[in-house]
Chains A and B, each alone.
Chain A
Amino acid sequence: MIFGRGKVRYNNPYTMKDVEGFSYLTTRIKYPAWIDERILSEGLDNLDIPSVSEFIINKMSDVFSLEGLLKSKWFPDLPISIDVKDIIPEIRSRIPSDGTEITDWMHDSSADNAILQAFEDEYNKYSEIRTGSNDPASPGLVVVNTRFYGGQPGYTVNSRGYALGRAPIGEFRAPNRRGTILIGENYIGWAGVNAWGGYQWTGKLAQWIRLAATPITSRIRFPNLGFGPMPNFFVQMPRGATERVTVTMAVSSSTSQNISIAFRDPNNYSRVLDEAVINVGAGQFEIVYTIASYPAVPPVVVEAAPRVNTVLDRFVVE
Chain B
Amino acid sequence: MFYNFDEKIGNVYPTRMALPDWFGTLSIDTFNRIKKLVIVAAVDEINVVGDYNENDLLNSEVYNEPATLDYDAVLSWANQNIPIEEPDVLEWMVEATALNAYMWARAREYARAGSLFVAASGDPYIPGVRIEDLYFTKETGNAVATKGYCVIVTPQGKFNCSVPGKRTITTKNILAWAYSLRAYIKQWLGGILKFKDIAINPSSRIGFVNMGGLVAPLFIGHQPSRRAFRNIVEMSITTDKAQTVTVTGRAPTDYSVSYFSFKANLREGQNVIKYKIRGLFGVPPMVIEIQPQDQTKTALDYYKVYP
Contacts and interface: CB of A to CB of B under 8 A. Distances in A.
Given A23-B115, A23-B116, A113 B130 contact: yes
A151 B100 CA distance: 13
A264 interface: no
A95 interface: yes
B196 to A, nearest CB: 7
Contact of B101 (A17, A91, A140): A140
A106 B111 contact: no
Residue among A24, A101, A130 having the largest count of chain B Cβ atoms under 10 Å? A101
Interface in B1-21: 1-3, 6-8, 13, 16
A110 B127 contact: yes
Contacts, number: 148
A135 B93 contact: yes
Contacts of A106: 123, 126-127
Interface residues of A, number: 57
B64 interface: yes
A84 to B, nearest CB: 12
A138 interface: yes
A8 B6 contact: yes
Nearest to B110: A23
Interface stretch (A142-150, A274-282, A284-292): A142-150
Nearest to A116: B130
Nearest to B137: A74
B64 A151 contact: yes
Contacts of B90: 100-101, 103
A149 B92 contact: no
Interface string A97-122: 01111111111011001000100000
Contacts of A14: 3, 7, 16, 197
A102 B184 CA distance: 11
B100 A23 contact: no
B286 interface: no
Interface in B137-175: 138, 153
A74 B135 contact: yes
B94 A142 contact: no
A200 B89 contact: yes
Contact of A210 (B7, B82, B104): B7
B116 A107 contact: no
A132 B120 contact: yes
B112 A22 contact: yes
A142 B119 CA distance: 8
A22 B108 contact: yes
A153 to B, nearest CB: 8
A151 to B, nearest CB: 6
Given A139-B121, A198-B86, A134 B127 contact: yes
A4 interface: yes
Contacts of A150: 60, 62-63, 97, 101
A128 B13 contact: yes
A104 B88 contact: yes
B7 A128 contact: yes
Contact of A101 (B120, B122, B184): B184
Contacts of B187: 101-102
Residue among B94, B99, B114 having the largest count of chain A Cβ atoms under 10 Å? B114
Nearest to A151: B63
Interface string A1-12: 000110010000
A17 B184 CA distance: 41
B50 interface: no
A21 B115 CA distance: 11
Nearest to A150: B63
A75 B153 CA distance: 14
A100 B93 CA distance: 11
A73 interface: yes
Interface string B194-236: 0011000000000000000000000000000000000000000
Contacts of A200: 86, 88-89
Interface of A: 4-5, 8, 13-15, 17, 21-25, 73-75, 91, 95, 98-107, 109-110, 113, 117, 124, 128, 130, 132-135, 137-140, 142, 144-145, 147-151, 153, 166, 198-200, 209-210
Interface of B: 1-3, 6-8, 13, 16, 60-64, 78, 81-83, 86-90, 92-94, 96-97, 99-101, 104, 107-108, 111-116, 118-123, 125-128, 130, 132, 135, 138, 153, 184-187, 196-197
Given A101-B185, A145-B111, A149-B61, 16 more contacts: A4-B2, A13-B1, A14-B3, A14-B7, A75-B138, A91-B126, A100-B90, A101-B90, A110-B126, A124-B8, A128-B7, A132-B130, A134-B120, A135-B93, A151-B81, A200-B86
For the complex of A and B, list the 6 residue pairs with the smallest distance between their C-beta atoms, beginning with the closest: A139-B96, A109-B127, A199-B86, A150-B63, A22-B111, A110-B127
